[in-house]
A and B are shown apart, each in its own frame.
Chain A
Amino acid sequence: MNTSVKLRLLLLACAAMLTACGGGSEQSASEDSGLDNSQEVLDYYAAHPDLFTFATPADIPADLVWDDGMDEPIIGSPDAKKGGTFYYYIEDFPPTLRFTGPDTNSSARSWISGYYRFGYAHQHPDTKGFVPGIAERWAIDYDNQTVYVKINPAARWTDDEPITADDQMFSLFFYLSDYIQAPYSNNFYGTQYTNITKYDDYTFSMKVATAKPDMAEYVLSLGPVPQHFYKELGEDYPERYQWRYEPHAGPYFIDDTNIDMGTRLIVQRKQDWWAKDSKYWRNLFNVDQITLSVIRDAAKRTEAFRRGDLDMMMVPTAELWYDSFPDTDPDIAGGYIHKNTFYNGGPRSNWGLWINSDRHLLDNLDVRLGIQYAANWDLVISNYFRGDVGRLRTPNDGFPEFSNTDIVPRAFDIAKATEHFAKAGFTQRGPDGILVNAQNERLAFTLTTHYDRYADVFTILKEEAIKAGLEIRIEILDGAAGFRKSREKQHDMYFMSYAPQQIMYPSYWQSVHSDNAYDDAFLEDGSVNPDRKIKTQTNNTESIADFELDQWIEEYDDSSDKERMIELSHMIQQRMHEYASFSPGFVEDFYRTMYWRWVQWPEGFNFRFTTYPWEMFGFWIDSQMREETNAARRAGRTFEPSIEVYDQFKGLQ
């Protein structure tokens, strides 16, 4: 009896400990500690005169063409009403409220900053043209790789301090500092920007390392860092600022009193936000308060939504869309819950199998090609996703012009798979139907992933691959362990996607350049270095190393000629396709949302270049309708059901 009780208790205790991790630290006191690093910052500026320059307004070139971005269409609906509370969830409580440094990459990160933090200018979510954020106007000097920015004097931090060019100067100090323990930021700011010049309190310019076609974005998407808030920046930065909310220029903020450690986070609208009446922002950021409850389990989230505890829900699976919430569901047929499908634009999540071409057998092109033909994605798409999603072509789909649309992903074909496997020496089938070669090695590889929600996809791939004589062993690890495995290049095949970034053109260096596959991949003459060692902790998940490809990527990265970059981009993608180390899976060119009737949307539902329905916060909550709907639901009165498809952007990429 004791064994049994003990085992169960152990399990329970462990499970409880696992779920209870995260959060829990005491809030650090934010009183004035008397620390002041102003002198240190000035000394740093003085020590790096090339990087930090102080000039006068007279030094601004006179022939600049200033742009204020006021010609774009307005965003959102003029009918939007301010007010109300939006109830949503976060998967886990953030381990910190900092925006930078250790542990900031949590699932709640976007909710504590990303979705509403302001930069100098923002890309219009429908046209991609720049519209003013903190900047009042800006000018781009392509010849000198410099972007000039005039800060809007009305701009205020969320703690009401004014935003000045000093804060932008400080941001470079901040992101280059070792204190913040963010090597990525150190590297990015250290390599991309070569100078910042302050002309007056509201005018500065920044010089970028290369004049890329999207050079303006490199500067305008930045945001300043509040110098007054970081007076105490020092070695103890991660602990000192762990639970202190950094002021920013956006419309929402989190107050100390609104942090319910481990369970709930409330984001508040700044009623007197400085940009609330500006042309582009006045119809956005409508709800007064966003209440985010921690709900870890997907099934519980579904139930919470059904009870009306959550206002909205993304619908990632066909099962939820068709079976759990069919159109005949009483809440949907009764018009209480609305459903819609919205086709969006922009780069896509690249779901697929990332094959590590450094592994034994997988370094053989024919084995990789065989795997490509043995992966039955079409069956996954038609039978698991019910035909709603499309087949991915390349890992870089959805970049207008830059994506090579001539590439056709390889379809499931047992004959071709068998042919390629045979070329690689796998000619005989073993007693279990799996191919073996002359050395008696089985054609078996492990598919590692941390996406257990797609477990069904893997079993389909596995069962189909057996037909071609390939065994796929499925290994589902938890997030951290799985991610680590792929970073250490210990995987055979990894199933995942890189999060899409709303950028103009794909970046290849990090994912396919040999610099990120091996240390010294090639000798001087371009032949393979026999002593090369695998390089870990990079995004080259496929361990691609191709000498010619490297040349193209370097030319692409150095080029400022858009046409040439497009040409190179197509060549690179074609070569990646031939290298066959990425088995393109599925791509969603839409997102599906369910929401309660009181959530109101602009015409056309949402903006073209959005990944989530709440991005830019164009919706608003009708609190009166909330009451009315709840009362009607209790009384059994129904409304007109609403199941919409918004396909105005379908096929536009």
Chain B
Amino acid sequence: MSLFKLNPQTAKKLRRFREIKRGYYSFLILAVFLLLSLTGELFINSKALVVSYEGEIFFPTYSAFHPGTDFGLDYQYETNYRQLKQHFTDTGSDNWVLMPPIPYSPFENDASTGIFRPEPPDAAKQHYLGTDTTSRDILARLFFGTRIALVFAIGFMVAVYLIGVAVGCAMGYLGGMFDIISQRLIEIWSNIPFLYMVIIVFSVIPDAFTIFSRILILLGVMVLFSWTSMTYYMRTETYKEKSRDYVAAARVLGASNTRIVFRHILPNVLSTLVTFMPFTIVAAISAITALDFLGFGLPPPTPSLGELLKQGTQTLRTAPWIVMSAFGTLVVLLTLVTFVGEAIRESFDPKKFTLYK
């Protein structure tokens, strides 16, 4: 799409963004983390990366499940690969297992004493951040919880912008009655309490829905009640641009409305949009964490930052490592995104030499 073809102006802005080191490195860290997390199962997983059994090689990470009987064990359910590894070592066979660096899934209870309770960080057991109240690995839960939060936030941002930009542009460009009616509707819509809607929606959706579709529904509800604020900015920006000479010129040349909006107006209001993006992400991450904290968010046992924070506040005295991990992650994550946002704002600022003090 030509919208994203770099014109010299944009290239300059991007260059300026790269010059703002703090934001740029934050962006790189986040991007690398996001890429890594997409293949997170290779690093943090209770399933082995590779199993060599009787001369055959298995890759259980992404394949269908292997019952214990596949590897000569006596049970029908999913193989416990940590035990399998131990078993192979004990029996001194030629078979071997290669486990990921953190050999725990975010769901399994691994209590060293047989009692489910938080255990402090222990490098020897490869619980680098300790375990939570039911002895699940905190690092695994944090990692996948953060991944869900990030993907959720990005999905949220894209959806909010699609709707917000479309409606805002239409309001600003078409104006007149359409504008007035839409504005009133938006005002009414934005007064519906969002948390109540989440509670109500979740109490009526059939329980047969999978966790993934529940997350999508939560996303849908949040988007439904968050797109409105974007329309205000888009509407004013479009109004402003619409009365500019270049739009008039385009119209005189016979350009269609679609062409004017997409080829002329949108690229010019892009800077407004882009500067808001990181803050929308921050908002989405905080919102999903807050919802989880209150117990209205992702269904258990989905790993989530809010759920860990909640556990942490309840075990402040007995297991401070839970709250420290969750809180630390949240602070780092939100700080990084905010740095990126600040850098974007600065690089898109038409007044280049503004100094922030």
Q: Which residues of A contact B (CB under 8 A)?
A: 1-8, 10-11, 13-15, 17-18, 298-299, 319, 322-324, 382-384, 386, 414, 418, 429, 431-433, 444, 446, 448, 452, 455-456, 458-460, 462-463, 466-469, 473-478, 481, 484-485, 491-492
Query: Given known contacts A473-B207, A476-B300, is B65 in contact with A433 (CB within 8 Å)?
Result: yes
Tell me the complex Cα distance, A452–B307, Å. 12
Give B277-301 as 1s and 0s: 1 = Cβ < 8 Å from A's Cβ atoms.
0011011101100110011000111
Whether A3 contacts B283 by the Cβ 8 Å rule is yes
CB distance from A453 to the nearest CB of B (A): 10
Whether B193 contacts A433 by the Cβ 8 Å rule is no
Q: Sample 7 A-B pairs with CB under 8 A, ordered by A number.
A: A299-B314, A319-B117, A414-B77, A459-B134, A459-B301, A462-B301, A475-B207
| Contacting residue for A432 out of B65, B114, B300, CB 8 A | B65
CB distance from B17 to the nearest CB of A (A): 19
Query: Given known contacts A3-B279, A324-B317, A456-B116, is B78 in contact with A11 (CB within 8 Å)?
Result: no
Whether B318 contacts A324 by the Cβ 8 Å rule is yes
Tell me the complex Cα distance, A463–B284, Å. 30
Tell me the complex Cα distance, A383–B131, Å. 15
Residues of B in contact, count (CB < 8 Å): 58
Whether A481 contacts B280 by the Cβ 8 Å rule is no
Whether A11 contacts B290 by the Cβ 8 Å rule is yes
Whether B75 contacts A414 by the Cβ 8 Å rule is yes
Question: Does B199 touch A at the CB level, under 8 Å?
Answer: yes
Question: Does B115 touch A at the CB level, under 8 Å?
Answer: yes
Whether A323 contacts B318 by the Cβ 8 Å rule is yes
Query: Given known contacts A3-B230, A4-B282, is B195 in contact with A18 (CB within 8 Å)?
Result: yes
Question: Does B269 touch A at the CB level, under 8 Å?
Answer: no
Closest 3 CB pairs of A and B: A14-B195, A4-B283, A431-B64
Tell me the complex Cα distance, A382–B44, Å. 28
Residue of B nearest to A447 (CB): B207
CB distance from B112 to the nearest CB of A (A): 11
Whether B116 contacts A15 by the Cβ 8 Å rule is no
CB distance from B65 to the nearest CB of A (A): 4
Question: Does B76 touch A at the CB level, under 8 Å?
Answer: yes
Whether B195 contacts A11 by the Cβ 8 Å rule is yes
Tell me the complex Cα distance, A481–B198, Å. 13
| Contacting residue for A478 out of B108, B199, B283, B313, CB 8 A | B199
Query: Given known contacts A418-B76, A459-B301, A473-B211, is B193 in contact with A14 (CB within 8 Å)?
Result: yes
CB distance from B310 to the nearest CB of A (A): 9
Inter-chain contacts of A469 with B (CB < 8 A): 76-77
Inter-chain contacts of B193 with A (CB < 8 A): 10, 13-14, 17
Inter-chain contacts of A460 with B (CB < 8 A): 109, 116, 134
Query: Given known contacts A448-B207, A459-B109, A459-B301, is B287 in contact with A11 (CB within 8 Å)?
Result: yes
CB distance from B190 to the nearest CB of A (A): 8
The majority secondary structure among interface residues of chain B is loop
Whether B114 contacts A383 by the Cβ 8 Å rule is yes
CB distance from B230 to the nearest CB of A (A): 7
Whether B116 contacts A468 by the Cβ 8 Å rule is no
Inter-chain contacts of B114 with A (CB < 8 A): 382-383
CB distance from B113 to the nearest CB of A (A): 9
Q: Which residues of B contact A (CB under 8 A)?
A: 64-65, 67, 75-78, 107-109, 111, 114-118, 133-134, 136, 160, 193-196, 199, 202-203, 207-208, 210-211, 225-226, 229-230, 232, 276, 279-280, 282-284, 286-287, 290-291, 294-295, 299-301, 313-319
Query: Given known contacts A7-B287, A14-B194, is B67 in contact with A433 (CB within 8 Å)?
Result: yes
Inter-chain contacts of A383 with B (CB < 8 A): 109, 111, 114-116
Inter-chain contacts of B279 with A (CB < 8 A): 1, 3-4
Tell me the complex Cα distance, A547–B207, Å. 31
Inter-chain contacts of A6 with B (CB < 8 A): 226, 229, 283
Inter-chain contacts of A298 with B (CB < 8 A): 314
Tell me the complex Cα distance, A18–B290, Å. 14
Inter-chain contacts of B64 with A (CB < 8 A): 431-432
Tell me the complex Cα distance, A242–B100, Å. 63
Query: Given known contacts A383-B115, A456-B116, A459-B107, is B207 in contact with A492 (CB within 8 Å)?
Result: yes
Residue of B nearest to A491 (CB): B207
CB distance from A27 to the nearest CB of B (A): 28
Tell me the complex Cα distance, A448–B195, Å. 21
Tell me the complex Cα distance, A4–B280, Å. 6
19 more contacts with CB within 8 A, not counting A383-B111, A418-B76, are A2-B232, A3-B160, A3-B229, A3-B283, A7-B194, A7-B226, A7-B286, A11-B287, A324-B315, A324-B317, A382-B114, A383-B116, A386-B115, A455-B300, A458-B300, A473-B210, A474-B300, A478-B199, A478-B295
Whether B207 contacts A446 by the Cβ 8 Å rule is yes
Tell me the complex Cα distance, A186–B312, Å. 48
Tell me the complex Cα distance, A463–B136, Å. 12
CB distance from B179 to the nearest CB of A (A): 20
Tell me the complex Cα distance, A460–B110, Å. 11
Whether A433 contacts B299 by the Cβ 8 Å rule is no
| Contacting residue for B229 out of A2, A13, A491, CB 8 A | A2
CB distance from A306 to the nearest CB of B (A): 9
Query: Given known contacts A1-B276, A466-B78, is B318 in contact with A10 (CB within 8 Å)?
Result: no
Whether B76 contacts A414 by the Cβ 8 Å rule is yes
CB distance from A360 to the nearest CB of B (A): 10
Residue of A nearest to B193 (CB): A14
Whether A7 contacts B207 by the Cβ 8 Å rule is no
Inter-chain contacts of B282 with A (CB < 8 A): 4
Whether A463 contacts B108 by the Cβ 8 Å rule is yes
Inter-chain contacts of B108 with A (CB < 8 A): 463
Most A C-beta atoms less than 10 A away, residue of B202, B210, B317: B317
Tell me the complex Cα distance, A324–B318, Å. 6
Inter-chain contacts of A468 with B (CB < 8 A): 77
Tell me the complex Cα distance, A474–B65, Å. 22
Inter-chain contacts of A431 with B (CB < 8 A): 64-65
Whether A10 contacts B286 by the Cβ 8 Å rule is no
Tell me the complex Cα distance, A299–B323, Å. 14
Whether B194 contacts A10 by the Cβ 8 Å rule is yes
CB distance from A76 to the nearest CB of B (A): 36
Residue of B nearest to A384 (CB): B116
Inter-chain contacts of B284 with A (CB < 8 A): 7
Inter-chain contacts of B118 with A (CB < 8 A): 323
Tell me the complex Cα distance, A60–B232, Å. 84
